[in-house]
């Protein structure tokens, strides 16, 4: 019995030693694992702090420091005498910080509804607010309503305590102080849309929300826009700005001085009297546009901060098309205003001389054809001068036929018809210069001799813009010199900086080389204004101190065989597009004027009196020494 107890004790002792050795082995393994883990941590720490420490420090700074763009101030636009046409004005808007509004999205909707009882907020305002809010962080302010009135600001101030997170914030906005007077020429700016965004240089337009959309604002966008600046700010982990570390000021856009005289512009608008059409006045000595009006017009201020749907619908659905710049894109049938240029073609190409005569019986027949092309009256034997003064169609029927369409259209192209003039106002149209090649290309039709007769007196397929006709007129007035029309007169790098004259556009090829061409045409156009009847505008130059040379145009808007002609038979004033072109002084012209109306009885009765009013205004404001850019800077 004692021996068995001893044996059991020995076995327990051996088992205890085995357990101790096993524990020791496990402890050693565990210790080694801990040491290895610590070694790995230490090595990783050393790697991150020593070998990658600089890189991570830079990354940390980048997350803490943000560079933000600062939009430049847009350049201003003036007329030739320093009258402000496009300004940047201080305005106030409502901005909302969404995270400061209690109640989440529901609370924000409630706030907007209650805010609408204090300040007028349209559905368009709310829609734009929601779109902008989706692109910003909750703590960033979002514009809600732009251009608050003083009364609205005062009403909001009284109830401001009711609207946490809503503030009245100052900002600069584009404004057009003369409103509709320069809407087509100066144009307007608007918010950058997605189509424009993908085409713009992201760096040049960083921080910018608006861009030129039409007119001068669009054509000279690069000059007016300027260059953005930047500011380096410190932000917290949520992106909130804590302080500004550095600021690089933006470069403002250039100020532009236009050649247009706002006084003459106003006079031209008043002379039109709301009739659908356009007026262009140009100095033929240098191509400077002095006035350019299109009616009806609109207020460009509507588009600056986003036009409302109701206003936009009204403008786009108006059958009078107020958004169309008729001065540079309106299509007119030139009628008899084309005759001076046809005369130049006949003289320069040797088909006629000034003294050659044609017998007008009141009807013209193409040799070998029975069809007759009618005239207004049988004028008898007429030379070039009388043909222009009396607007004898049969003279120009035969002239066009003798020239042939290829030579006729080729020479008309020298005056710029059928092509853009290149005027520095966005939106110009090319018009149509009829030719056999054009007819084949556009309608796949052959050209007939009868077409040539029609285009010879400004009918048929012709389409011209008022700026094209005015440019062609300046070539006659300048005796063949081709000076492209333009509106930019000078630029200025900033308020107080010197005003620099803008370089003139490159002259086009001169037109005409034969002696006597321009004198013969000038005499015919002078007789049209100053001769006795049947001179087309006899008496228009009465009591005007300078000799006026001019030419009327009355173009049928509808074919006499068209049903429309019959339906408006009681209103002959609606049957025609009517035009008048003139320049003065006839010997040494200083101004050339074109008036084009979409509807009227005749160029003599409707368009010519408008031109005379414009010439009277020009006489009042022109001293033959207009303000130079240097003088403007001193005003």
- Cα separation, 144 vs 122, whole angstroms: 10
Count of CB atoms within 10 A of residue 77's CB?
Answer: 27
Query: Is residue 336 annotated as a catalytic residue, yes or no?
Result: yes
Element (H, E) at 563: helix 563-567
How does strand 77-78 pair with strand 84-96?
Answer: antiparallel
Element (H, E) at 59: helix 53-64
Contact between 170 and 143 (Cβ < 8 Å): no
Question: Quick check: helix, strand or coil at residue 538?
Answer: coil
Sheet holding 549-556, edge to edge: 288-295, 277-283, 591-600, 576-584, 549-556
List 141, 336, 391, 535, catalytic entry: 336
Residues 6+ apart with CB under 8 A from 71: 206, 207, 208, 209, 228, 250
Residues 6+ apart with CB under 8 A from 42: none
Q: Of the candidates 497, 593, 583, 591, which has an alpha carbon nearest to the alpha carbon of residue 257?
A: 497
Ramachandran angles phi, psi of 241, nearest 5°: -70, 125
Strand runs (DSSP E) across 259-320, as ranges? Answer: 277-283, 288-295
**Torsion, CA 382, CA 383, CA 385, CA 391, rounded to 10:** 40
DSSP summary character for residue 613: H
Contact between 186 and 176 (Cβ < 8 Å): yes
Instruction: Give the N- to C-terminal CA distance of the chain in Å, as an integer.
Output: 134
Question: Quick check: helix, strand or coil at residue 241?
Answer: strand
How does strand 255-258 pair with strand 77-78?
Answer: parallel
In sequence order, what DSSP letters do the residues of 450-478 get, joined into one string?
Answer: HHHHHHTTT-TT-BB-HHHHHHHHHHHHT
Q: Of the candidates 463, 433, 464, 434, which has an alpha carbon nearest to the alpha carbon of residue 447?
A: 434
Nearest 5°: the CA angle 411, 413, 419 is 175
Query: Which residues face 173 on adjacent strands?
Result: 89
> For residue 577, with 0-12 CB atoms within 10 Å meaning exposed, 13-18 middle and 19 or more buried, which class applies?
buried
| Ramachandran region, residue 516 (left: φ > 0; alpha: ψ -120 to 50; beta: rest) | left
DSSP summary character for residue 532: P
Per-residue CA distances from 315 to 63, 188, 275, 279, 303 (Å): 49, 15, 17, 21, 11
Lookup result for tokens 């101190």: 545
Per-residue CA distances from 468 to 33, 416, 607 (Å): 92, 7, 17
- Cα separation, 404 vs 633, whole angstroms: 54
Query: Active-site residues: which are they?
Result: 336
């Amino acid at each position: 019995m004692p021996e068995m107890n001893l044996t059991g004790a020995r076995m327990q002792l051996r088992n205890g030693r085995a357990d101790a050795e096993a524990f020791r082995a496990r402890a050693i393994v565990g210790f080694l694992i801990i040491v290895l883990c610590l070694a790995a941590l230490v090595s990783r720490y050393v790697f991150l702090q020593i070998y990658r420490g600089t890189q991570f420090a830079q990354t940390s700074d980048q997350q803490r420091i943000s560079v933000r763009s600062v939009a430049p101030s847009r350049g201003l636009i003036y007329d030739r005498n320093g009258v402000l046409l496009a300004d940047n004005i201080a305005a106030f808007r409502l901005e909302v910080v969404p995270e400061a509004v209690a109640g989440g999205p529901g609370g924000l909707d409630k706030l907007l509804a209650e805010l609408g009882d204090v300040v007028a907020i349209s559905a368009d305002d709310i829609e734009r607010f929601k779109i902008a809010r989706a692109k910003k962080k909750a703590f960033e302010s979002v514009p809600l309503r732009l251009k608050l009135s003083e009364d609205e600001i005062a009403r909001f101030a009284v109830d401001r305590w009711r609207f946490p997170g809503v503030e009245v914030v100052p900002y600069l906005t584009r404004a057009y102080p003369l409103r509709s007077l320069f809407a087509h020429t100066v144009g307007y700016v608007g918010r950058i849309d997605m189509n424009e965004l993908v085409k713009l240089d992201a760096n040049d337009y960083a921080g910018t929300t608006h861009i030129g959309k039409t007119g001068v604002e669009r054509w000279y966008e690069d000059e007016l826009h300027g260059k953005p600046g930047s500011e380096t700010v410190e932000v917290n982990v949520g992106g909130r700005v804590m302080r500004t570390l550095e600021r690089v000021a933006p470069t403002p856009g250039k100020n532009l001085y236009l050649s247009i005289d706002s006084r003459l512009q106003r006079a031209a608008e008043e002379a039109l009297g709301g009739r659908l059409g356009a007026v262009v006045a140009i100095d033929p000595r240098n191509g400077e546009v002095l006035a350019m009006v299109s009616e009806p017009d609109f207020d460009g201020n509507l588009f600056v901060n986003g036009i409302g749907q109701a206003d936009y619908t009204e403008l786009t659905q108006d059958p009078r098309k107020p958004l169309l710049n008729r001065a540079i894109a309106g299509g007119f049938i030139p009628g008899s205003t084309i005759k001076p240029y046809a005369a130049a073609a006949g003289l320069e190409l040797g088909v006629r001389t000034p003294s050659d005569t044609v017998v007008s019986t009141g009807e013209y027949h193409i040799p070998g054809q029975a069809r007759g092309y009618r005239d207004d009256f049988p004028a008898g034997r007429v030379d070039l001068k009388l043909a222009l003064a009396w607007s004898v169609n049969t003279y120009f029927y035969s002239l066009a036929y003798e020239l042939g369409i290829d030579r006729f259209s080729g020479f008309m192209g020298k005056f710029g018809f059928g092509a853009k003039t290149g005027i520095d106002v966005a939106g110009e149209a090319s018009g149509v210069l009829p030719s056999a090649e054009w007819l084949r290309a556009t309608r796949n039709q052959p050209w007939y001799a009868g077409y040539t007769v029609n285009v010879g007196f400004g009918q048929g397929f012709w389409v011209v813009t008022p700026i094209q006709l005015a440019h062609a007129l300046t070539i006659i007035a300048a005796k063949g010199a081709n000076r492209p029309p333009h509106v930019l007169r000078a630029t200025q790098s900033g308020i107080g900086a010197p005003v620099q004259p803008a370089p003139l556009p490159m002259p086009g090829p001169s037109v005409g080389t034969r002696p006597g061409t321009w004198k013969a045409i000038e005499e015919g156009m002078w007789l049209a204004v100053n001769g006795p009847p049947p001179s087309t505008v006899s008496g228009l130059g009465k009591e005007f101190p300078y000799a006026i040379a001019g030419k009327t145009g009355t173009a049928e808007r509808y074919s006499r065989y068209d049903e429309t002609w019959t339906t408006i038979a009681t209103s002959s004033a609606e049957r025609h597009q009517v035009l008048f072109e003139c320049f003065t002084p006839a010997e040494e012209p200083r101004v050339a004027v074109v008036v084009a109306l979409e509807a009227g009885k005749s160029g003599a009765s409707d368009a010519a009196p408008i031109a005379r009013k414009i010439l009277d205004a020009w006489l009042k404001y022109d001293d033959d020494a207009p303000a130079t850019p240097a003088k403007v800077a001193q005003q």
